[in-house]
Amino acid sequence: MKIYLDGKMLEKEDAKISVFDHGLLYGDGVFEGIRAYNGRVFRLREHIDRIYNSARAIDLVVPLSKKDIGIAVLDTLRANKLKDGYIRLVVTRGAGDLGLDPQKCEKATIFIIADKIKLYPEEFYTNGLSVVTTSVRRTMPDALSPCIKSLNYLNNIMAKLDAIRAGVPEAIMLNSAGYVAECTGDNIFILKENTLFTPPSWVGALEGITRGAVMEIARNKLKLAIKEDVFTQYHVYTADECFLTGTAAEVVPVVKVDGRIIGDGNPGKTTLRLIKEFKELTRLTGVPIYEK
């Protein structure tokens, strides 16, 4: 496997960063998870824009232009001879000292990993997920903006441990006011009649790239009303349909939450239509990896 690290393409065993890197010591950095489908990178521009926005929000200078980062992503895919896969793009504060002061980090570190993707088992898309609500509350937006996709994921990891202990693949996270925010690694949607609801970012939800694509499909193809609005566990339990979205998960149905059956206990018709339309979107759009 080839890894892009600060302008060089290295073997996995040789791709090393300093133990003094503030990304490692303090989670001081930002990242993106990106997908490649059938020789195309899905929504590359949106991912690059978001990592730049995340970096700007934490006053981190990205040492490459947006154009050059895009080229580096494509080069990494080519180096690994991938047409389909998952790309992890990471920008850390770089090496400094053991103190918190980010000014001691002279230059940011950039690395890119491209590998094959492991999705949920196919049965989850056919039969749907069971999930639980975790007791771990989502980090408050006034403490750390959920719009920043940072390397500090301990909040999500603690919630993921609750899911693992419950024997389910995902957990719903509430914010400090008790509103549904997101899952440990996915955005959440519920359908009630002809309206699709998803939490707004100020509740504690990341503005996911897949989330945005699904909202476009729902609005333009399915002619659904879309509301970014607060809702509670009650609204999840009584929803007609529920599903999750994410770069790795894509669109995956939820059929049981905290032991309550959602809808009729099967993936909903709207969810299945969104899965189909999303797959078609990823098949037809994206930045080509290889020259024709």
Does residue 209 have a pLDDT over 80? yes
Q: Quick one: pLDDT band at residue 139, thresholds 50, 70, 90? A: very high
Judgement on whether residues 55 and 84 belong to the same structural domain of the protein: yes
| Contact yes or no for 201/141 (Cβ under 8 A) | yes
Does residue 119 have a pLDDT over 80? no
pLDDT (mean) for 100-118: 95
* pLDDT reported for residue 120: 86
What is the DSSP annotation of the chain?
-EEEETTEEEEGGG----TTBHHHHH--EEEEEEEEETTEETTHHHHHHHHHHHHHHTT---SS-HHHHHHHHHHHHHHTT-SSEEEEEEEE--B--SSS-GGG--S-EEEEEEE---PPPHHHHHH-EEEEE-SSPPPPTTTS-TTS-BS--HHHHHHHHHHHHHT-SEEEEE-TTS-EEEESSSEEEEEETTEEEE--GGGT----HHHHHHHHHHHHTS--EEEE----HHHHHT-SEEEEEETTTEEEEEEEETTEEPTTSS--HHHHHHHHHHHHHHHH-SEESS--
* pLDDT reported for residue 117: 84
In angstroms, the CA 37 to CA 247 distance is 12
Domain C-terminal end among 115, 131, 160: 115
Q: Which listed residue (149, 192, 221, 223) is catalytic?
A: 149
Host domain of residue 9? 2-115
Cross-strand partners of 196: 191, 226
- Opening angle at CA 192, ends 244 and 155, nearest 5: 35
* pLDDT reported for residue 65: 97
* pLDDT reported for residue 291: 77
Judgement on whether residues 104 and 142 belong to the same structural domain of the protein: no
- Domain assignment of residue 288, yes or no: no
Judgement on whether residues 277 and 132 belong to the same structural domain of the protein: yes
pLDDT (mean) for 283-292: 90
* pLDDT reported for residue 94: 98
Distance from CA of residue 232 to its chain's centroid? Answer: 22
Q: Which amino acid is at 51?
A: I
- Domain assignment of residue 290, yes or no: no
CATH at 39 = 3.30.470.10
* pLDDT reported for residue 93: 98
* Mean of the per-residue pLDDT values of the chain: 97
- Domain assignment of residue 289, yes or no: no
Q: Is 116 a catalytic residue?
A: no
Total domain count for the chain? 2
CATH at 230 = 3.20.10.10
pLDDT tens for 160-174 read 999 999 999 999 999
- Strand pairing class (195-198; 225-228): parallel
Nearest alpha-carbon partner for 35 in 122, 138, 119, 136: 119
- Domain assignment of residue 182, yes or no: yes
| Contact yes or no for 39/110 (Cβ under 8 A) | no
- Domain assignment of residue 205, yes or no: yes
- Strand pairing class (287-288; 109-115): unpaired
